[in-house]
Chains A and B, each alone.
Chain A
Amino acid sequence: MSLVLDEPIMATPPRWRMFLLRLLRNRSALVGGTILLLLVLSALFAPLLAPYDPFKVNPIQRLRPPSWDHFMGTDEVGRDLFSRLIFGTRYFLLICVVTASISASIGTLLGLLAGAGSRFVENLIMRVIDVMLAFPYILMVLVVVAILGPSLWTGMVSIGIAGIPGYARLVRSAVLTVRREDYVLSARALGASESEILFGTILPNVVSPLIVYLAFSMPLAALVTSSLSFIGLGTQPPAPEWGAMLVNSRTYLFSAWWAVAGPGMALFISIFGLNILGNGLRDVLDPRSGR
Chain B
Amino acid sequence: MTQYVAKRLLLLIPVVIGILLITFLMKALIPTDAVTAMYSGQLSEKDAAEAIATLRAKYHLDLPWYQQFFIYVRDLLQGDFGDSIRLRKPVMEELGYRYVNTIILTLASLGIALVVGLTAGILAAVKRNSWLDVTATTVGLFGISMPAFFFGLLLILVFAVWLRWLPVVPKGNLALLLPALALGLIEAAPISQVARTSMIDVLSRDYIQAARARGASELELVVRHALPNALIVVLTLVGLQIGNLLGGAFIIESIFSWHGIGELAVNAIQWRDFALTQAIILISAATYLVVNLVADILYAWLDPRVELST
Q: Footprint of B on A, CB under 8 Å?
A: 1-2, 127-128, 130-131, 134-139, 142-143, 145-147, 150, 219, 223, 226-227, 230-233, 243, 246, 250, 253-254, 257, 260, 264, 267-268, 271-272, 275-276, 279
Contact = CB atoms under 8 A, between A and B. Distances in A.
Interface stretch (B112-120, B217-225, B262-270): B262-270
A143 B26 contact: yes
B243 interface: yes
Given A135-B19, A253-B161, A223 B153 contact: no
B176 interface: no
B244 A254 contact: no
A176 to B, nearest CB: 16
Given A142-B277, A230-B251, 19 more contacts: A130-B14, A134-B285, A136-B247, A136-B288, A138-B246, A138-B250, A142-B250, A142-B265, A146-B30, A223-B147, A230-B147, A231-B149, A233-B266, A246-B150, A264-B147, A264-B153, A264-B154, A272-B141, A276-B141
B127 to A, nearest CB: 14
A7 to B, nearest CB: 14
A136 B244 contact: yes
Contact of B18 (A128, A142, A276): A128
A219 B153 contact: no
Interface in B266-305: 266, 269-270, 274, 277, 281, 284-285, 288-289
A145 B255 CA distance: 20
Given A142-B281, A150-B269, A135 B30 contact: no
Nearest to B29: A147
Nearest to B152: A250
B145 A134 contact: no
Please classify the interface of chain A as helix (H, G, I), strand (E, B), loop, or mixed, using the class held by over half of its residues: helix
Contacts of B237: 2
Contacts of A272: 141-142, 145
A275 B26 CA distance: 34
A142 B270 CA distance: 11
Contacts of B285: 134-136, 139
B110 to A, nearest CB: 14
B63 interface: no
A105 B149 CA distance: 30
A230 B270 contact: no
B71 interface: no
B254 interface: yes
Contact of B270 (A2, A136, A233, A260): A233
Contacts of A227: 147-149, 251
Contacts of A134: 15, 18-19, 285, 288-289
Contacts of A223: 145, 147
B157 interface: yes
B197 to A, nearest CB: 8
The size bracket of the interface on B is 35 or more
Contacts of A1: 144, 190, 244
B61 interface: no
B56 to A, nearest CB: 20
B202 interface: no
A111 to B, nearest CB: 19
Contact of A131 (B18, B244, B269): B18
Contacts of A128: 18
Contacts of B18: 127-128, 130-131, 134
26 contacts: A1-B190, A2-B237, A127-B14, A131-B15, A134-B289, A135-B22, A135-B281, A136-B246, A142-B265, A142-B269, A143-B22, A145-B269, A147-B30, A150-B270, A227-B148, A227-B251, A230-B149, A233-B269, A233-B270, A243-B149, A246-B150, A254-B168, A264-B150, A268-B147, A271-B147, A272-B142
B255 A131 contact: no
B244 to A, nearest CB: 7
A232 B244 contact: no
B154 A146 contact: no
A96 B225 CA distance: 44
A145 B142 CA distance: 29
B156 interface: yes
Given A137-B244, A257-B161, A146 B14 contact: no
Contacts of B288: 134-136, 139
B174 interface: no
B26 A147 contact: yes
B100 interface: no
Nearest to A130: B15
Contacts of A246: 149-150, 153
Nearest to B194: A2
B240 interface: yes
A231 B153 CA distance: 13
